[in-house]
Structure 1
Amino acid sequence: MDRLSFIGVVLALAALVGGSVLKGAGIAGLWSPAAFVIVILGTLAAILVQTPMATFRRAMKIVRWVFQPPVRDGHAQIRRLLEWSNTARRQGLLGLEPELPGVRDDFLRKGLQMVVDGSEPEQIRQTLEIELQSQQHRDMAAAKVFEGMGIYAPTLGIIGAVLGLMAVMKNLADPSHLGHGIAAAFTATIYGIGSANLMLLPMASKLKGVINAQATEREMIIEGLIAIAQGENPRNIESRLSGYLH
């Protein structure tokens, strides 16, 4: 679990609730069904219009990476590649074939299969780089779903505030309702700006960071597999791949 994300969410909620209490608005002042409908459902509606179904599904699938990013261990990955390099030097590339069933990562297994099949290094690079770029593009598009929601939410918050003020203007003859009506109107602004800056935009940035780190690891895998296919010395491979860990 990403502890920083968890702590951030807790602090965000504490900031909103604590700030509302300290300012005298109370916890109840943060709840407004009308604001929820306008801002939250409105933001969801806007992003659904903007986003293709496949991208939206991917976004819902990777959102867990904010709190539980994919496990990455660059040092372990390098050790694995070095073991394969030593095996290939002793037994030849076909000696790596028994390793295939134990490789869970589809990207790594595809690359290793190409090495075992004796594919040319340039062909391995081109094939894996195309797959890497394609996957990175899909994941980045999914991360931008939350970025888009973070852009729409504040605007929907303003719309909610305007609608609330319109309702207040219709009841100017009854001063007893003015204060409550104005407070409820601005709650929509809190929903919009708060959800965007405390949740949606930070989530998008966290996902982009995870995606870029994953892409860097896969670039390292590509270089390692090509070096194995070319029969390079394991020490040279280790020296080259270690640069990806910094």
Structure 2
Amino acid sequence: MSRDPKIESPVGPRHVAIIMDGNGRWAQARGRPRLFGHHAGARRVREVVEACPRLGIEYLTIFAFSTENWKRTQVEVAGLMSLFRRYIAKETRALAANNVRVRFIGDRVRLDTKLVELMDALEAQTCGNTGVNLTVALNYGGRDEVARATKRLAQDVAEGKLRPEDVDEETLPKYLDTCVLPDPDLVIRTSGEARISNFLLWQSAYAEYEFIDTLWPDFTAAELERLCRSFGTRERRFGKVPA
């Protein structure tokens, strides 16, 4: 991990979520296959994670693979699944040594057994770490997450564990994949696209957004720092008016 002193950002984001977009276009602009860009993007994750402590970021959530990404070509999907397995196997020791706590969110049912085993092992190996909380959204979709949470909530109501009249906006988050995480303060999307793509729909109700042109493999710790400083200048009122 970087040992640089923490930046002066008392009102910086505690939880940053990133839609890591633009890997394929980055590769194609260089005359390379899309998977070349995904590999470059995976390497970029380490720099961003290592920058978090000095930027005051306690939680980092990254969008690795959406429930809609299965619509891509079989070659690209298979290549991504292979990349995830290799990345986890390669980075496990470094993540554990650098005190990073890793969690995965999303529906694991469709993922292959070997990948799920690696995910489970990485979560178990880092569960006692107290540094950056890295959450990887893998086969994740916001609508799918809410649907799965609602099913679990409905089951508890049916079994008498929860009364219908007790269900409110504080109840559902307890059933979400992110139930142990604070809501994101800042959501960043790279590559110039200005949409949220089904990412953390419930959790980001009051997040600040940054849509930037940088393609993910070109995203740097310096740009993350710039965005954190910009966040610190914003007035977050959460529906209130200034005193």
* TM-score normalized with structure 1 length: 0.26
More strand by share: 2
More helix by share: 1
* TM-score normalized with structure 2 length: 0.26
Greater C-alpha Rg: 1
